[in-house]
């Protein structure tokens, strides 16, 4: 029986992971679960799966969690240190599905126990790719991608020689506003941005899909994960979200991963790796689908993609700055303080202004958890100052 833990269990990825575990009775034992504000869900799942430890990220909710767990005998804990504790509960496989850079420290702790880390939390690779990869290597841990595009690339590479890869093509749905007149984008609402045409996901990644910040993060994620040169990564708008990614080889062959937009495929692939298990995802009827469309993304509609290129060129801590600026700008958009188009403008400004304050040669280019925290904090404050001005 495989012992598994889920960081971010109450979210969209976490719940889909539990759905798959529930459908495979006897195959998995759940050791630890973490969540945030949704205490009822966390406690319900903790009791159903008889876990050892349930953790809420919010210390103010610890008593609620204890009360909800009642006489189950399950240990409860709260706060950042407790998230690390959950990641250190001995497990064969840990899902990293916290949203945002908050997932970095627990992810590193999981890698520190030499486990297999199923990585949905792309932000940790964007902010600290070299640190994540080095930590995995130092502890003999393995990282398996869960982002659908990266799972697709990973699967297309099975049995292949990585040196024969010529290019990687990542597809993007184009998000909620792909057909909106550009002039309207400044005035779209949070509710509109939170509706994805094809995928069911958490609110933040759904809005990031509309702005293509999600794709921007994924391009950086692909560079860090697969070690390819930025020029080898292409993005294409593919409105059907059926081809998730393609790998092009030096002989001109293109291997595509094709499937319905259901995260349970990528999660299930990582959960059962290196084997495949039957998964409850729709079987595609290609004839019914009829056609697949692809187009180059319009840089004026999706400035985030150009910013990702800038980040990959700059290296160092620019990934942390990019991600933190994006996360904070998104907070301000969700709170109604700024318009949709202002998000990319703010991130561009933060990249210019905050990156300038990085002093090369003073140790700033070595990425540590501490340095990530410092630059993350500094950038968020910078965004707050820009919004308040």
Residues near ligand NAD (CB under 6 A) are 8-14, 35-36, 57, 83, 97-100, 102, 120-123, 147, 199, 201-202, 204-205, 263
Are 291 and 332 within 8 A, CB to CB? no
CB 125 within 8 A of CB 147: no
Q: Report the nearest approach of Mg ion to the CB of residue 118 (Å).
A: 14
From residue 31, alpha-carbon distances to 3, 59, 89, 251 in Å are 6, 21, 7, 46
Q: Which is nearer to Mg ion, 217 or 383 (CB)?
A: 217
Q: Binding of Mg ion at residue 147 (CB under 5 A)?
A: yes
Distance CA 89, CA 5 (A): 8
Return the range that interacts with Mg ion (CB under 5 A); candidates 73-81, 144-152, 157-165, 365-373: 144-152
Taking the least distance from each CB to ligand NAD, the nearer of 52 and 221 is: 221
Judged by CB under 5 A, the stretch of 139-147, 170-178, 266-274, 352-360 that binds Mg ion is 139-147
Identify the H or E element spanning 317. none
Which residue, among 44, 37, 35, 46, has the nearest Cα to 13 in the 3D structure? 35
Instruction: Report the residue closest to Mg ion, judged by CB.
Output: 147
**Residue 53: CB minimum distance to ligand NAD, A:** 14
**How is residue 147 annotated by DSSP?**
S
Would you say 123 or 149 has its CB closer to Mg ion? 149
Of 149 and 376, which has the nearer Cβ to Mg ion?
A: 149
Please state the closest distance from residue 126 (CB atom) to Mg ion, in A.
13
Q: What angle do CA 290, 292, 293 make, to 5 degrees?
A: 135
Cβ-based nearer residue to Mg ion, 45 or 147: 147
Distance of closest approach, residue 221 Cβ to Mg ion, in angstroms: 9
What is the closest distance, in whole angstroms, from the C-beta atom of residue 305 to Mg ion in the complex?
14
Q: Which stretches of the chain are DSSP H helices?
A: 12-22, 39-48, 62-69, 80-88, 104-112, 122-139, 148-156, 190-193, 203-211, 213-226, 263-272, 286-289, 303-314, 318-334, 342-356, 369-388
Q: Which is nearer to Mg ion, 75 or 261 (CB)?
A: 261
User: In angstroms, rounded to a whole number, what is the distance separating the alpha carbons of residues 383 and 337?
Assistant: 12
Smallest gap from residue 40 Cβ to ligand NAD (A): 12
Helix axes 303-314, 318-334, angle to 10 degrees: 150
Out of Mg ion, ligand NAD, none, what residue 102 binds, judged by CB under 5 to 8 A for its kind, is: ligand NAD
Residue with the shortest CB distance to ligand NAD: 11
* In the complex, minimum distance from the CB of residue 69 to ligand NAD, in angstroms, rounded to a whole number: 16
Name the binder of 132 from Mg ion, ligand NAD, none, CB < 5-8 A by kind.
none
Binding site for Mg ion (CB under 5 A): 147-149
């Amino acid at each position: 029986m495989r012992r598994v833990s889920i960081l971010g269990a109450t979210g969209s990825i976490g719940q889909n992971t539990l759905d798959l575990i529930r459908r495979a009775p006897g195959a998995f034992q759940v050791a630890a679960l973490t969540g945030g504000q949704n205490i009822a869900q966390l406690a319900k799942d903790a009791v159903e799966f008889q876990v050892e430890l349930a953790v809420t990220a919010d210390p103010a909710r610890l008593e609620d969690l204890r009360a909800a767990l009642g006489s189950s005998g399950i240990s409860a804990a709260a706060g950042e240190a407790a998230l690390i504790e959950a990641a250190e509960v001995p497990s064969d496989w840990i899902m990293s599905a916290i949203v945002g850079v908050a997932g970095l420290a627990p992810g590193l702790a999981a890698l520190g126990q030499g486990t297999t880390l199923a990585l949905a939390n792309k932000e940790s690779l964007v902010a600290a790719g070299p640190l994540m990869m080095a930590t995995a290597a130092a502890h003999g841990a393995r990282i398996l991608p869960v982002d659908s595009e990266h799972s697709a690339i990973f699967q297309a590479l099975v049995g292949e020689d990585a040196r024969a890869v010529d290019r990687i093509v990542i597809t993007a749905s184009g998000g909620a506003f792909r057909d909106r007149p550009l002039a309207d984008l400044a005035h779209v609402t949070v509710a509109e941005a939170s509706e994805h045409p094809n995928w069911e996901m958490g609110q933040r990644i759904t809005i990031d899909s509309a702005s293509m910040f999600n794709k921007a993060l994924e391009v950086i994620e692909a560079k860090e994960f697969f070690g390819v040169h930025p020029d080898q990564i292409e993005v294409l708008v593919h409105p059907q979200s059926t081809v998730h990614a393609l790998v092009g080889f030096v002989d001109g062959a293109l291997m595509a991963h094709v499937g319905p937009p259901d995260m349970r495929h990528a999660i299930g692939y990582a959960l059962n790796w290196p084997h495949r298990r039957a998964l409850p995802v729709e079987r595609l009827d290609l004839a019914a689908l009829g056609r697949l469309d692809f187009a180059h993304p319009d840089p004026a509609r999706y400035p985030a993609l150009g910013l990702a290129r800038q980040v990959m060129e700059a290296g160092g801590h620019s990934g942390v700055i990019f991600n933190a600026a994006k996360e904070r700008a998104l907070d301000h958009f969700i709170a109604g303080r700024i318009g949709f188009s202002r998000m990319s403008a703010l991130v561009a400004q933060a990249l210019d202004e905050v990156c300038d304050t990085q002093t090369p040669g003073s140790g700033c280019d070595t990425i540590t958890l501490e340095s990530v925290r410092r630059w993350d904090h500094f950038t968020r404050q910078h965004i707050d100052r820009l919004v308040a001005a």
